[in-house]
């Protein structure tokens, strides 16, 4: 199944207009690797200016609300981030599941709202270290997937990111066997939920301390279709080699 590799940076709460030069340089790096789909999910305040300089890279948002509009002070709807210039959105990042207490039902609603607004979606899943050490990582992630998967999920608009919480920003990554096992299990669950044809087109990204040194090995694993990259995506000099590795 020919799935195009997808490498997406997540800038989290980092980035002012002064950093638009990095966006531009990352866009240039993306242009040098047309076989890879490259994007940057920037803070909402940067979506519009980043879009103007991102070249071959798409610009995405890091969250959207599950409702179309209403009394939700401080929140942004999918239509708003779309209008600002985002083509994609991350939903269910573990930092939001933890800090904003987002449930998997909330995440499924956000994904549906995003689709309705014409956005593509990266849906994040991942277990804590306690869950991994307790031998329950597979069960946990598959249940999170079942509860977060929006109705009508399809490869044309949905990608999954497996991001073990204990690997995010820590410099620690799972073994290649653990990544392969988890991605294979997610693929299997998607086949059951969506049927083999649809499931085999869905890209499953790995996220958590991806860097220039480990990207090629991770991206070569079966059922790893690219990466969601935090810290190393902030600068073109560290992100470009990861794009090249895909
Ligand atoms: C992330 O938060 O999505 C992430 C993968 O971060 P990092 O690459 O810094 O571990």
CA of 185 to the centre of ligand 1 (A): 21
Residue nearest to atom 1 of ligand 1 (CA): 230
Q: Can you point out the beta strands (E) in 99-149?
A: 120-125
> Could you tell me the pTM of the whole model?
0.98
> Cα 142 from chain centroid?
17
For ligand 1, is residue 9 a contact (CB within 6 Å)? no
Distances (CA, A) of 103 to 41, 108, 109, 148, 188: 21, 9, 10, 8, 23
CA 161 – CA 148 distance, rounded (Å): 12
CA of 118 to the centre of ligand 1 (A): 25
Q: What value does the mean pLDDT take over residues 95-123?
A: 98
Q: Is 83 annotated in the active site? A: no
Q: Is 163 annotated in the active site? A: yes
**For residue 75, what pLDDT band results from cuts at 50, 70 and 90?**
very high
Long-range contacts from 65-72, C-beta under 8 angstroms, 24+ separation:
65/110, 65/113, 66/106, 66/109, 66/110, 66/112, 66/113, 67/109, 67/113, 68/113, 68/116
The pLDDT value recorded for residue 242 is 98
CA 120 – CA 115 distance, rounded (Å): 6
The ranges assigned to domains in the chain are 6-245
**Mean residue pLDDT across the chain:** 97
Instruction: Identify whether the C-beta of residue 29 lies closer than 8 Å to the C-beta of residue 10.
Output: no
| Residue 169 assigned to a binding site | yes
Find the Cα–Cα–Cα–Cα dihedral 39, 43, 44, 49, rounded to 10°: -70
**For residue 1, what pLDDT band results from cuts at 50, 70 and 90?**
low
Give the tokens for residue 139. Answer: 């069960």
| Residue 2 assigned to a binding site | no
* Secondary element (H or E) of residue 207: strand 204-207
Pick the CATH number of 6-245 from 3.30.70.1880, 3.20.20.70, 3.40.630.180, 3.40.50.300: 3.20.20.70
pLDDT tens-digit readout, 205-229: 999 999 999 999 999 999 999 999 9
Give the tokens for residue 111. Answer: 């994904």
CA 163 – CA 173 distance, rounded (Å): 10
Residue nearest to atom 3 of ligand 1 (CA): 230
The pLDDT value recorded for residue 2 is 86
CA 49 – CA 81 distance, rounded (Å): 13
């Amino acid at each position: 199944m020919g799935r195009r590799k997808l490498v997406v940076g997540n800038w989290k709460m980092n980035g002012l207009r002064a950093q638009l030069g990095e966006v531009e340089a990352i866009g240039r790096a993306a242009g040098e690797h047309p076989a890879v789909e490259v994007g940057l999910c920037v803070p909402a305040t940067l979506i519009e200016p980043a879009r103007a300089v991102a070249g071959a890279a798409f610009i995405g948002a890091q969250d959207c609300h599950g409702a179309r509009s209403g009394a939700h002070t401080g929140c942004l709807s999918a239509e708003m981030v779309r209008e600002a210039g985002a083509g994609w959105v991350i939903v269910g990042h573990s930092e939001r599941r933890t800090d904003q207490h987002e449930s998997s039902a909330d995440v499924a609603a956000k994904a549906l709202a995003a689709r309705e607004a014409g956005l593509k979606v990266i849906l994040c899943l991942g277990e804590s270290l306690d869950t991994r050490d307790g031998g329950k990582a597979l069960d946990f992630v598959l249940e999170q997937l079942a509860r977060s998967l929006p109705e009508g999920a399809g490869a044309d608009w949905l990608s999954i990111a497996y991001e073990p919480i204990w690997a995010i920003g820590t410099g620690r990554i799972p073994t290649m066997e653990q990544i392969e096992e988890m991605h294979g299990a997610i693929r299997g669950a998607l086949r059951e939920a969506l049927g083999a044809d649809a499931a085999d087109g869905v890209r499953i990204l790995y996220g958590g301390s991806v860097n220039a040194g480990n990207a090629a090995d991770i991206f070569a694993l079966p059922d790893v279709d690219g990466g969601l990259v935090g810290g190393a995506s902030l600068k073109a000099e560290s992100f470009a080699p990861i794009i090249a590795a895909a």
